[in-house]
Amino acid sequence: MAQIDDGLLIARAIPIGSQNGFSATLVSNFGSMISEVEELFGPRNHDYTILGVEFSGTIPGIWFPRDCKHIAIQLGKPAMMDFNKAHFQLAHETVHLLDPVVGGTQNVLEEGLATFYQLRYIHRLDPNYFTGDAKYDAACMFALRLMAESPNAIKTLRAQGQTISALTAQQLRGAGVGLTNDEANILALPFQGWTPP
């Protein structure tokens, strides 16, 4: 049986002033992640129930057990033994909970936003942490360009009923975000088949 970093799951009582509190675990930190992501990009779709976090395989993802609008977040098994890696992966998956996509058809924009947020989160724990994946880094750079031009664009578009993964280049340009045609086209591409320039 694989070992697990007990700091991920075991909340330890700690005194805080005149009160008692608990050490932060993966679950309690996940609550902060959801709040931060919703502040950045708007509220998540509450039609889905988040069941929790589990470990499976080698890469993280979300899945929809029993086809009933339940979502389980799966982190890679290697993250069981690495506090930072588990948080890094969970921060990325948290963005995918905003507009859950059954079948995994995220676009470059959604993966870029997820990479942006996971780096933002992990740099509080370890400022030298990085993705190690040029494709995700490139998606992040395109998403950063959008956020620099229009910090509230995603929140505004989602408030109008748009889902991140379904945004078209035309919708992005129509939102007045100041992107070039090429940048808008790239952000709207399906991530899986995309090759960064």
Mean pLDDT of 135-160: 94
3-state secondary structure of 102: coil
Q: pLDDT confidence of 7, banded at 50, 70, 90?
A: confident
Does 137 map to a domain? yes
pLDDT of 22 above 90 = no
Does 37 map to a domain? yes
For residues 32 and 106, what is the distance between their CA atoms, to the nearest angstrom? 23
Please give the pLDDT value at position 89.
Answer: 98
Mean pLDDT of 163-182: 89
Does 17 map to a domain? no
Does 195 map to a domain? no
Please give the pLDDT value at position 23.
Answer: 79
State the total domains in the chain.
1
Model confidence over 123-146: pLDDT tens digits? 999 999 999 999 999 999 999 999
Does 139 map to a domain? yes
Please give the pLDDT value at position 12.
Answer: 83
Please give the pLDDT value at position 9.
Answer: 81
Does 193 map to a domain? no
pTM of the predicted structure, to 2 decimals: 0.92
Does 46 map to a domain? yes
Does 83 map to a domain? yes
Model confidence over 24-80: pLDDT tens digits? 889 999 999 999 999 999 999 999 999 999 999 999 999 999 889 999 999 999 999
Range of the domain at 111: 6-12+22-188
Question: Poorest-confidence range of 14-23, 67-76, 185-194?
Answer: 14-23
pLDDT of 102 above 70 = yes
Please give the pLDDT value at position 19.
Answer: 66
Please give the pLDDT value at position 175.
Answer: 79
